[in-house]
Amino acid sequence: MLYSRVAVLYYSPMNQGNDPLDSCGTCDWPHAPPHRLGGAGVYFVTARTLGCIAYFNTPYRLDRALAALLGLADRYGWRLEAWAFLSNHYHFIAHSPSSESGGTTLALFLKHLHAELTRTINREDGVTGRKIWHNYRETHLTWHKSYLARLNYTHHNPVHHRLVALAEDYPWCSAHRFAQSVTPAWAKTIRSFAYDQIAEEDGDNL
């Protein structure tokens, strides 16, 4: 199984009660009621590096990238439902802040995330002024089946890219946390939603 220092940091006994993941996702994953899409807007987001270059090509860089994503999501009030961070792109599903203008904060959140990660990678590589990120793409999810299909797509993106055989074995996605939180029957239901068309529309086809 792949090893993630992020997991050690988040789940260390010293950090109990102060786990950034505690503010992510929801407590009712096993039931996933239709009102999941009610209230705040729910968005599926994809961002890729410029030229699809694998800048996040080490466990250390992936750890820092995921920590930045989780931390800034919490800071901007975005409640993450699922996430997957790979070497040259990431996906996540999240609830926007509940205020009427909550969805408009997505651009600020991602601008901050991309700027922070760009500075980190460029500093480590000893370069200045290099652009790391291509633009991002967001989809406002209003149809329940579309939400469930993208939930499966996000959890299994590392499998889709043949990085692991089981999504739960990839430390930089939410599949393991999801599997621990839901009933086997509900996990099987989520896995039944095909995502080939989503991958093609998202430019993520192999």
- Burial status of residue 123 (CB atoms within 10 A of its CB: 0-12, 13-18, 19 or more): exposed
Residue 101 is predicted with a pLDDT of: 66
Q: DSSP assignment of 96-126, as one string?
A: PPSSTTGGGGHHHHHHHHHHHHHHHHHHHHT
Label residue 10 by pLDDT band (50, 70, 90): very low
pLDDT value at position 56?
98
Taking residues 89-117, report their average pLDDT.
90
Q: Domains in the chain, start-ordered, CATH in brackets? A: 5-19+39-201 (3.30.70.1290)
Confidence (pLDDT) at 185: 87
The yes-or-no verdict on residue 7 having pLDDT over 60 is no
- Global model pTM greater than 0.85: no
pLDDT at residue 5 is higher than 60: no
